[in-house]
Amino acid sequence: MVFTGLTALAMIASCFLVFVYAPKDKTMGISQKIFYLHVPIAWISLLAFIVIFVCSILYLAKDNILYDDITRASAKIGLVFNTLMLATGSIWGKSAWGVWWTWDPRLTSSLILWFIYVCYIVVRNSSFEGQRSSKFAAIIGIIGFADIPVIALATTLWPTLHPSEMIFQGGVTGPMLVTLIICIVAFTLFYLLLMILTVTIQQMEGITTEMDISSNSEELEENQK
């Protein structure tokens, strides 16, 4: 309850900073404020796959079901945020560049990440035996991580419409920087809250499934007798 309250307060503070505290951009005006939504969403999309990568390695190394639950939860959340990242990026791109979509290196590599998320979830829900599908998905989580550095370095390695590292090179300062940092913190807390809830629900579903299987086995044994 405390963590949920802290997350709610951070989100409320973010809304206040975005719409009241942060000034309007001189060039893009009010439409620039989607920046404070798009960047944190993009961060969570990448963070979720970093968690998948690390926990996939730990799951294959230690065969601990907890790591498998974490990767499954992070993939669900990551896919949602990756979809929102592409959507908000398109809206922002329409305002800034005049087009909804362009095959910009960062946009293209972000779309590839979306397909990797989809493949991961499809494999998780495949008809393979439970543990086998988890291990196949873990391999996808490890291999798919190669796209994360590409997304992060896309504006440095190739010509791109995206601003080149404007956050780290002083392009965002003062109230705008404060607002962005608080928004990133708020969305990170929101991701952690969703992770806790999702993993808990998955573990409860697993216990229920095991109880159902045990109950069915007992009924079958009684019928055979």
Q: Using one digit for the tens of pLDDT, what is the confidence trace for 17-76? A: 988 888 887 777 777 788 889 999 999 999 999 999 999 999 999 988 899 999 999 999
Q: SS3 of 166, please? A: coil
Q: Which range of residues forms the domain containing residue 58?
A: 34-201
Domain-located, residue 225 = no
Query: Which residue's entry shows tokens 């790591």?
Result: 67
Whole-number pLDDT of residue 185: 94
Domain-located, residue 81 = yes
- The 10s digit of each residue's pLDDT in 111-140 is 999 999 999 999 888 766 656 788 889 999
Q: Backbone phi, then psi, for 101, in 5-degree steps? A: -150, 140
Exposed e or buried b for every residue in 39-58, given b needs 16+ CB within 10 A? bbbbbbbbbbbebbbbbbbb
With beta carbons less than 8 A apart as the criterion, state whether 157 and 108 touch: no
35 vs 8, more confident: 8
Determine the Cα angle at 145 with ends 76 and 122, to 5°. Answer: 40
State both tokens at 142: 């490890």
Question: Of the candidates 24, 61, 210, 57, which has an alpha carbon nearest to the alpha carbon of residue 145?
Answer: 57
Whole-number pLDDT of residue 224: 53
Domain-located, residue 10 = no
Exposed e or buried b for every residue in 179-203, given b needs 16+ CB within 10 A? bbebbbebbbbbbeebbeebbeebe
**What's the chain's average pLDDT?**
83
% the chain with pLDDT above 90: 45
Residue-wise DSSP of 112-124: HHHHHHHHHHHHH
Q: What share of the chain is helix, strand, coil (3-state, %, to 5)?
A: 80, 0, 20
With beta carbons less than 8 A apart as the criterion, state whether 8 and 65 touch: no
Whole-number pLDDT of residue 51: 96
Whole-number pLDDT of residue 215: 47
Domain-located, residue 223 = no
- Bridge partners (DSSP) of residue 25 are 29
Question: Of the candidates 11, 52, 51, 49, which has an alpha carbon nearest to the alpha carbon of residue 185?
Answer: 11
Query: Sorting pLDDT into bands at 50, 70 and 90, what band is 209?
Result: very low
Domain-located, residue 13 = no
179 vs 222, more confident: 179
pLDDT at 162 over 70: no
What pTM was computed for the model?
Answer: 0.83
Angle, to 10 degrees, between the axis of helix 65-97 and the axis of helix 105-124? 150
Domain-located, residue 180 = yes
Of 94-103, 182-191, 215-224, the poorest mean pLDDT is in 215-224
pLDDT at 95 over 80: no
Cα distances (Å, whole numbers) of residue 126 to 37, 40, 78, 148: 34, 31, 19, 25
Whole-number pLDDT of residue 176: 85
- Bridge partners (DSSP) of residue 78 are none
Q: How many domains does the chain have?
A: 1
State both tokens at 94: 């329409």
Domain-located, residue 22 = no
